[in-house]
Amino acid sequence: MDGVHDPKSPALGLLQEPGEALSKLPPDTAGNQVAWVRALEEGTIEPRATLFRQAPMEVRDTDVLLNLKGSTPVVRFPHKPHTRWLACSNCHDQLFKKEPGSNVYSMERILQGEQCGVCHGAVAFPLTECNRCHSVPRRSPALAAPGAGR
């Protein structure tokens, strides 16, 4: 009778209360208070690539540096935790093009629930946690490395 779940559904009795389910996961200080990447790394959760069919996870262990010309710290996008959660097709090519340099990122669009904002601010840590993405100081040696920004 919470206005969300169908009280006539035979599966209703199988559902956990969110508080009970989330309490078994490692805590975080933001969003829904769950450290999702830590839960993944510790094996507490085992995401599937897709909902409806078995598909192998294609883990990509590369980082992409973004926001190279702005004034805030550079954004480090780590593919590894994202590709351990999702198949590449979840983001490419609907949200982002695969070719380096072919995307134009906008905090305005992200805050409106587009691009990264499709998940962040909804199911992933909130957009108020700026330093989780804007994490590379402008004077970092990582910015001088070959391939930086790709």
How many Cα atoms within 13 Å fall on the side-chain side of residue 124? 18
- pLDDT tens readout for residues 107-142: 999 999 999 999 998 888 899 999 999 999 988 776
**pLDDT class for 53, splitting at 50, 70, 90?**
low
Map out the domains of the chain with their CATH numbers. 20-143 (3.90.10.10)
| Mean pLDDT, all residues of the chain | 85
Q: What is the pLDDT of residue 90?
A: 86
For residues 31 and 63, which has the higher predicted lDDT (pLDDT)?
63
Q: What is the pLDDT of residue 76?
A: 93
User: 54-58, 85-89, 128-132, 146-150: which has the minimum mean pLDDT?
Assistant: 146-150
Question: Which backbone phi and psi does 12 adopt, to 5 degrees?
Answer: -55, -40
Q: Distance between alpha carbon 79 and the CA centroid of its chain, in Å?
A: 9
By CB atoms closer than 10 A (0-12, 13-18, 19+), residue 9 is: exposed
